[in-house]
Structure formats: structure tokens, C-alpha cells
Chains A and B, each alone.
Chain A
Amino acid sequence: MALDYRRCAQEIVDHIGGRDNIAQAAHCATRLRLVIKDNSKVQKDYIEEIDGVKGLFESNGQLQIIIGTGTVNKVYDEFLSITGMTEATKDDVKAAAAAKQPLWKRLLKPIGDVFVPILPAIVASGLMMGLVEALGKAIPSFAGSDWYGFLDMISNTAFAFLPVIVAISAARVFGGNIFLGAVIGLAMVHTNLLNGWNVANVDAINSFFGVTDGVIPQWHLFGPILPIRLTGYQGHVIPVIIAIFIMCKIEKWLHKHVPEMLDLFVVPLVTVLATSLLTFTIIGPIFATMETWVLKGAEILVGNVFGAALMGALYPWTVIMGLHHMYNVIEAGMLGSVGLNTWMPIASAANFAQFGACLAVGLKAKNHKTKVVAVPSSLSAALGITEPAIFGVNLRFFKPFIFGMIGGIVGAFYGALTKIGATAYGVTGIPGYLTIKQPLHYSILLAISGGIAFALTWTMWKEPESEAKKAAGDEKSPASGDAPAPEDTQKRTAGEVVSEVPLGLSNVVITSSAGDIMKPVNGEVIPYTKIPDETFASGALGQGVGIEPAGEIVYSPVDGVISSVAGTNHAVGITGPNEQELLIHVGVDTVMMNGDGFTTYVKEGDKVKIGQPLLKFDSAKIKAAGHPNTVVVLLTNSDDYEDVRYGENLKK
């Protein structure tokens, strides 16, 4: 029996708190995507029982109700007519959902997005740095060797020049030119500036002798106001992300307002100059001042056990700010005055707690990508280098970060209570054994902090559903009515976890007076002439593009009618608006595969909408059969139109 769309829509409206409780509504290939004002009014159990509803879940601030291909649009139409709402695009819903997220989440998201792609660089360096430093402490003769010098240099490269890596990644996340981003990052660690890691020591010496100004050279670009201290931003993260965020805003604004003829020399020049000025005169000094406060604050805090416990919680935040490199000053001061570094156990507790939390994520996560990042990151954290664990894992999921803070509090409290300390500085975590005076208490401290963070994360952290769904082998076939929305597929199949590449479906690859044809599958676009097949490349079948697919589902690139489906399921013909005859052919010579590795979701005569899944293919099988998997998209009657253009992002 056919589904009563109106009744289904009516029941949904009734059980999500009525029209007044809906902020926005959209639908994708299979789901209604709703932004709800008050989630407590949503009767989830009831909705799941409604005839036509196949399931529901919450993700990214949206309530997603799975209805199924071909029916969701009908239910959606009824939904709109019942509620009197107007159609929202998926982007609108996403924006509304993003706006609904708390501010701190919106601020943290870009940090995670920036950091995940650069993790390989800093995980490698973090592990190597931890090992090299530990070896240097354990074997004094090694510390003076050429090998030590070499390994030390290689391992700290990524951290010393972190601003460059962060800048490039941030420019990509915020949509700016990555090379301009690299320039800003490089400027922040330019060799003409003093190494930021050493400056804190200079400052400390200055304040000891009562010198307040003059030792660190300054530039006075604007006379007395806003002097620039010639110090680099080694190891910094947040100032760089802020600087690049501003850079991208400036760059985009300029692109809009500068005439195209002048664009190439005006935009980059003004962007770099304006960003550098802002960075060095305003962003930099704010952070320099904060650093001083943090140092002073930390020194006061560690004077008593409760302060130390608090410091155990605050420590990872200072890692986020990139301020933890300054703590050597405190440690050196302690060793100079009382001969015992009681700071180290506090830092160790904080770091080892992040290790525990990160390890728990790594062991618990189902998502393969999360796993392979979290496990090595946690090892690096155990050796005292916590950036990969914090930025790449804990902060991204946030709860593990908080649990890490709790572990840090308890561990630091224990450390301060037992008054344990080290005889040197520079290492924490496991290598801390080399310098600690009371290894037994130190073991307990590590066990407490790491253990608490691990246990809390293990029991109370849940992998976000959207992440877990990306786990390998866990994908449902769209034929079952639960097609992944196009963006889900992209996330799962794109090379990186982070980049929310603009949907292929807003990307016009063929255009003519007859209409636009979108990109039906994620991947790299090549002109038809480059398709690895003589017939396709010759244009005999029409003009168009090939796509080297990164995804494995072909979505309809137009609204139209299916005019043919190959018996072997590897090709689909669609008649689009104005008689456009479109052929989507997956792979070259794949007809030989006799349908193995291909599934179609449509049949001849079906009406399809843009974004509806048409067919699914198995790239691995195509390759195994010895064929290119290029997805061929051709306007077969391109001869009928005089103004056909093809390529990537034609309408951007």
C-alpha cells in the first residue's frame, strides 16, 4: 500500500512540538533535515513508529528523519504545506544548526579542522622529539653527540616552524590562498626575529635585573604606539589561526572589490601587508601580554596544593595557546632557588591525563581514521608531547579534553601533596622518570592522572554517530532506503577527514543554453578529451567531462527522466531539461564486467531530482578488472547546442 504522505508529515509535525518548534526544514536524498528549537518537545520514540519513518537521529544540531529515496520529497512537500514553511536549502539548515551550537563549539571547530590534516607532521615530530629528549637525558654522552644534534633538529622542525604548517592548513580551512597563508606563517618565524622560545628567558633575566625595556629590540612603525617586539612565534598556534582568519577575510574582500585587471598584484600584496601589520602590532602583543600573565599566574598557583591542582586543569589550555614553552623559565627558577623542580610533576599529570583520554578514544573509536590518529597521538603524549593528542583528538571531541583536565587536577594535587620534584627540566610523562627524585610517587601520579582520564573517557565519551557511521564496512546500501546524503559520502571517501569540500552538487561541470549539469560524483574533473578511451576522448559521443572519482555513488546531476539504464548497471542515460541527453558511464570498458560491482537505484522512466543517488560502483573491483574507473559525463547531443562549456566549477 502506498504511503500516505500527508498523514506521515502531519504525524511528524505533531510529534516534534508543532510548527512553532521548527526553525528550518530541508531534505536530502533520504532524510528530512530539521532544525528544532526545543529538542525536549521531540517525541523520538513515537516518531520512529510513524508509518513511513525508517529511523531518526540527531547530528550536528539537526534532527534527521530517515524516510527514503523517492518518498522523502513527497513527505517534505506535505510537510511544507502543513506547516506553511518555505523551502530551505540544506545550506540554510546547516547554517541554522551551526548558529544553534554553543559559541565555544563554533570556536573550537576551526581549530580541529586546521589541525587534523597536519597531524602526520606533528605526530612524527612529537614521537621523535620525546624519544630524542629522553635519550639525551638518559645518556649524557649522547646529548652532546652529532647524532643528537641532528635528530634534535629534525624532530623539532615541525614544532619550531609550526606557524607555517598551521598557517597553510588554516588558509585552506578559511578559504584563502594557501601560499599567502604560508608567507604569513613564515613571517611569524622569520630568522630576523628572535626565537620566541628564548625570549621568555631573556624576559626573565631582564625582570630579575629590573630592566623593563630595550634588550629585546623593537620597531616603532607608528612612533610611540604599537611597537613591534622582534620576537618570533615558534610553537604558536592560536595567534596564527587568528592571523590567517583575518587574512582570508581581507583577501576575500579584496577579490570582490579590486578590478580583475589589477587583482593579481594588488590583492596578494595588500593582503600580506595588512595581515602582517595587524598580526605584529595587535595580535602578537596581546598574546605576549597574556604569556607574561600566564607565567606570573602559574608561578603563584604552584605555591600551594590547590593552586597546583588548578594548574593541572589549566595546563592543557596553555598548550592550546602555545604558552607552555615558557614554563622552562619557572622550572629553571625553581632549580636555581630550591634545587627541586616541583613544576614537572604538575605538567606530567596534565600531559599524562591527556594521554589517557586520547588512548581511550583510540581504543573505543569505531571510525578507522579516528583510531589511527588517536593511538600514535596518545603515545606521543605519553612521552610528553601533547599537541597531537590535544588538537587532533581530545579537543575535537571536547569531552575527552575535559576528562583529561579532571585527571590532571587529581594528579597535580597528588604531586603537590607529596611534594615530589625533579632535578632537571625539559621532559614530562614517561621520560620524566629520568629526572624525578621519587619514582614511586611519580608512578602513582601518572597512574592517577592517566587512569582517571582514561576511565572517564572510556565510560562517558560516545563517538559521535556521524563519525561512527564512517567506520569501514558499516555503510548501508542506499537501496535499503537509507542512502547516505551526498556530503556524508564525501566525508567518508575524500582523502581527508576535515575538508568539507563544497558539494559536487553545487558544482557545474557542463553548461549550455539548455541548462547546467552538476558534478555527479566527487573527484577530480578532467575534460572529455583526457578520458583514457579513444571513443570518449574523440567527442563522438558528445562533449563533457570525466571525473576521477573519490566517491563511489553517482548522484543525479540534473532534474530529469531516466532514459536508459545499461543492463550491466554501469551506465545511465538521463534526459534533462530542454532535451539534454546526458550519459553517465562509470569506468572505461566496464561493460565487460557484466554488472559485477555495480548497483543501480533507478530504472528507465523514473523521474529523478538533482542529488538523488543513481548508481553505486566499486572502484576496487573496477581497478581489479583492469579498467580505469573514470566516470564519464557527456552531453551526448552537445551538437544541438552552440554554447557548451565544460570543466570544474563553471558557475563559481
Chain B
Amino acid sequence: MKEFKYTITDPVGIHARPAGLLVKEVKKHASAIKIANKDGKSADAKKLLALMGLGIRQGDEITVTVEGDDEAEAAAAIEAFLKANL
């Protein structure tokens, strides 16, 4: 299992559009990927509504956990995606 933390810099947080892009990215990987918000509530990152339900705003620190066969590369790709987009 891989886990890393990331602080959101996008002014609108993980909202509809960035969330949609994130889900698309996440779906590329076979691993189970979860994102937890600052309160520790976590959601399946492949589900857009669940992800949006976390209510992640700018400045929030999120915890991403990746577990599966391709976890190493998945975690790296997602981290890169977050840095580029969120």
C-alpha cells in the first residue's frame, strides 16, 4: 500500500470539474484508490459523487491511499496529476 499527503492549492477545491478530471486519471489505474479529507472521511476516488461529497477546499490536506498491483506507478501518476491540476 502506498500513501501520501497533498495540500490542495486550486481555489475551488476538488469540485465538479477538477474532480471529474481526477476520477478520469484515477480510473486509468487498476489499484484501489482512496482519498481522505482533513477530517479523515474517505471516499473511493473512482466515484465522482463520493469524491465531491468530501467537500475538499483550497488549503485542505488530503490523504491518498493506493493499494494494488500497480500501486507504485499509480501513486506517482496521481501525485503528479494533483500537483499539475489541484
Report if B49 contacts A (CB, 8 A). yes
CB-defined contacts of B50 to chain A, threshold 8 Å: 563-564
CB-defined contacts of A574 to chain B, threshold 8 Å: 49
Which single member of B13, B24, B49, B57 contacts A540 (CB below 8 Å)? B24
B window 13-63: CB within 8 A of A: 13, 15-17, 20-21, 23-24, 47-50, 52-55, 57
Report if B76 contacts A (CB, 8 A). no
Tell me whether A592 and B12 are in contact in the complex, defined as CB-CB below 8 angstroms, given that A567-B57, A636-B20 are known contacts.
yes
Whether B21 and A563, one on each chain, are in contact in the complex, defined by CB atoms closer than 8 angstroms, is no
A window 82-104: CB within 8 A of B: none
Whether B12 and A541, one on each chain, are in contact in the complex, defined by CB atoms closer than 8 angstroms, is no
A582–B53 Cα gap in the complex (Å)? 13
How many residues of chain A have a CB within 8 Å of chain B? 24
A168–B28 Cα gap in the complex (Å)? 55
> In this complex, which of B12, B23, B52 has the most chain A Cβ atoms within 10 angstroms of its Cβ?
B52
Query: Chain B: interface secondary structure?
Result: helix
Whether A535 and B55, one on each chain, are in contact in the complex, defined by CB atoms closer than 8 angstroms, is no
CB-defined contacts of B49 to chain A, threshold 8 Å: 563-564, 573-575, 581-583, 636
How many residues of chain B have a CB within 8 Å of chain A? 18
CB-defined contacts of B12 to chain A, threshold 8 Å: 591-592
Tell me whether A541 and B47 are in contact in the complex, defined as CB-CB below 8 angstroms, given that A571-B52, A592-B12 are known contacts.
no
Which single member of A536, A566, A637 contacts B52 (CB below 8 Å)? A566
A465–B13 Cα gap in the complex (Å)? 45
A541-576: CB near B (< 8 Å → 1, else 0) gives 110000000000000000000011111000101110
A573–B52 Cα gap in the complex (Å)? 8
A541–B18 Cα gap in the complex (Å)? 10
A window 570-599: CB within 8 A of B: 571, 573-575, 581-583, 585, 591-592
Whether B48 and A581, one on each chain, are in contact in the complex, defined by CB atoms closer than 8 angstroms, is yes
Whether A636 and B55, one on each chain, are in contact in the complex, defined by CB atoms closer than 8 angstroms, is no
CB-defined contacts of A591 to chain B, threshold 8 Å: 12, 15-16
Q: Min CB distance, A554 to chain B, in Å?
A: 15
CB-defined contacts of B15 to chain A, threshold 8 Å: 566, 571, 591
A536–B54 Cα gap in the complex (Å)? 21
Additional A-B contacts beyond A573-B49, A591-B12, A636-B48 (7; CB < 8 A): A535-B21, A563-B49, A563-B50, A564-B52, A566-B15, A567-B55, A591-B16
A-B residue pairs in contact (CB < 8 Å), sample of 30: A533-B17, A535-B17, A535-B21, A536-B17, A540-B20, A540-B21, A540-B24, A541-B17, A541-B20, A541-B48, A563-B50, A563-B53, A565-B53, A566-B15, A566-B16, A566-B52, A566-B55, A567-B55, A571-B16, A573-B49, A573-B53, A581-B48, A583-B49, A583-B52, A591-B12, A591-B15, A604-B53, A636-B20, A636-B23, A637-B48
Smallest CB-CB A-B distances: 6 pairs:
A564-B53, A573-B49, A541-B20, A563-B49, A636-B48, A564-B52
